[in-house]
Every structure is written in structure tokens, then in C-alpha cells.
Structure 1
């Protein structure tokens, strides 16, 4: 198995992004494609999410979260990256991603460092335009959940990306309206939709190293 050393962060910063091609691997077949002009014409809500890396047992991990059930939230009960809506006080989208990470899973903000941005992704059901970031924490995290938003932390080792098949597993999901969609099945945790599409770009980046 390929080993990721301390130079991982430097390599991530300089690696080429896969963009729409990487997103497309885990895109549901019914997902409509929009041009940038069409997306902006919908006046989307703006948000950011965070792949925050840390070392555990000499291996690189990042946390995913299982969101609480909330009938007002179109993405409730799903597995996602830490993140949320941009606030006026945020300096930029990176600040949004890091602030939301500290609020939702309790990381200490002053230990989190941005590495780079990934390709933005539009989420039609909720009309969100999401800016994904990769960061790392220089202090091993002690997770504290924001209970009204997060049920569980899922620690995902990035070496698992090396085992992802080129053709993703397909599942019929009630949350996807009964459609068959491509998923990442990690130890029984089913990751799909925009989160899987973002992680697809990250996995393609990792595999190029």
C-alpha cells in the first residue's frame, strides 16, 4: 500500500484538480448540469466545507459527520463534510470552512491551517453553491460534537481512497428519491451526492501522487 509521508501536504497543494470530470464519477445520473451563468442566475446560497487532515496512528485521516435528522433540512441524516453557510463576518470561504469545522466538531480554530481550495460544486435541491477546502490541524483533534447538528464522527483514512474502484458501487437510496446512485461504502457508512463528488475529486488528487 502506498505510504503518505509528511510531504503529503506539500503535494496536495501543488496537485492538479480533476474538477467536473472527477465530480462526474460519483454524480447521480439524474443530476442536471448547469453553467456558471445559470448557477449565478439562481442566486444560490453560499457555503463551504472542509476536509481537515490529521495524523492518527501514523496514518492520515479526516472526519466526516453524520448529520442529525431535521425535516427542514434537505440533507439531514446524511453523511457529509463539516461545513455550512457563509456568514457576513467570515473573511472568505476558507474562513467559513474552518469556522464551521470548529463549531460542528470542536477543533481548535487556531490550530487549523488551510492547504487549498477544491472545485466548487452546486447542489440543486438546496440551491447551495459550495466551496470545498482541504486543511490540516497541527494538533491531534479532540472531537466535541455540536449535538443539534451532528450525531457521529466518522474517521476516514485517506489510504481508503486507494481501494476505491474506478466504477463506483451503485445503490438505490430512499433519500435519493428511490433512484440508483453511485456511493462510497465505507464500513457500512453510505456516502453519496455532493459529498461523494467532492471526495471523488480529492481521491483523484491523492491517486496522482
Structure 2
């Protein structure tokens, strides 16, 4: 049985996601200094993608999974992220993309996910993607089966941890030999920064409105 506090959280979040979103106001709080300085814009080659932000109850608290990307020759190697990826022809919409990718990457049973709504779509200049964050809930803690090609580790994060302002820091982060000034969330020894941190910033602003 799901405890009533999780049910109340779910219903409250669903309602809040139907209201106007903070969007760029929230994004800017966790954006790197380079993002707006360089002025990159979407173009005809920009592709669409989606990620799943999936809450679930566990030990009388509320959790969500982040993933650690493995090291590879790519712009997001070794970074923390939400499960997700590019839109494929088989996807009727970006919500379907987020669910399919979450199932493929970490084994979430998408038929059990209740989608609550969407956050603001976000442009990611390094990979030239527009990413749509999809917010959903599971009524139980899932068993994770990470695809080793896509996921080095699954990190289960307590929502209370993300709401703790003391985990926010700012530092120079090296990306492919370039130092970037970027704010981050310090979570279980990992630095969550970039687009993922910007999505979390909007999510927390919606929750804490």
C-alpha cells in the first residue's frame, strides 16, 4: 500500500505541473557561465530528446533515480543525468521517448509509471539537443537493471537531499580539457551540473512553490 503522504505529494505535484512553469528563471540558477556567454541557439540540425524524472516511495521517503554515464568519447561522458535519450521514429511523442529510454537504460517497468506532466524543454548546446523532461511516479521502489553500455551506476536520491540548499556549490569543472565555471548539486559524492542541474532547479521550484 502506498502511504498517503506519497499520494498527496503525487497529486499536489500533478496540479503544480499544470500551472505556468518557472522555466528559464529556474534554469539560470544552475546554468554554467559559458551557456549564455556563448549564445548558442537551436538550428536546423537540432534533435529532440527526452528524460524521465521518476519519483517513488521508499523507507517512508520520496526518491528518484539519477544515472552516472560511463566514460566514452562523447560530450556527456562521466556525467550525472536522468535516464533518457533521443527521440526515435517509433515514438509517437516525447513522453513515449522518455519512458522507452528509461526502460532500456535502467529497466523501469514503464507500464507502471503514471505521468504527471512536463517541465520546460531545455536546449543543450554541446550535443545540439532539445530535451523534454517528463515527470512521473511509480507506486513502488523499482528494481533497476542498468544497461552497462549506457549506465555506469544508478544513484537513488532522496528528495529531501535535493531540497537541502547546503548541497549547492560552484566550481570550475573540466570538460574535455576545458574548464567551465558551473554551479552544481553535491549528491552522494557526485557533482550534478549542467542541463540535469538546470532541470532539477526547475523541478524544485515547482515543488517548493
TM-score over 0.5 for the alignment? yes
Structure 2, unpaired ranges of 5+: none
**Structure 1 residue 88 and structure 2 residue 92: aligned?**
no
Alignment correspondent of 2:174: 174
- Map 1:35-184 to 2 at 5 A: 39-71=41-73, 73-165=74-166, 168-175=168-175, 177-184=178-185
Instruction: Summarize the Cα distance change of 1:33–1:97 in structure 2 as closer, same or farther, 3 Å threshold.
Output: farther
Q: Is the 8 A contact 2:54 2:135 kept in 1?
A: yes
Distance 2:90 2:103 in 1: 15
Q: Is the 8 A contact 1:66 1:152 kept in 2?
A: yes
Structure 1, unpaired ranges of 5+: none
Distance 2:206 2:26 in 1: 9
Q: Deviations over 1:30-65 (max 9, x none)?
A: 113799xx8453431110001011111011100000
Distance 2:45 2:81 in 1: 23
RMSD of Structure 2 on Structure 1 (CA): 2.1
Distance 1:4 1:161 in 2: 18
| TM-score of the two chains, using structure 1 as the length reference | 0.90
SS in 2 for 1:55: strand
Alignment correspondent of 1:25: 29
SS in 2 for 1:51: strand
Segment of structure 1 superposing worse, 142-151 or 15-24: 15-24
Distance 1:111 1:34 in 2: 41
Q: Is the 8 A contact 1:25 1:168 kept in 2?
A: no
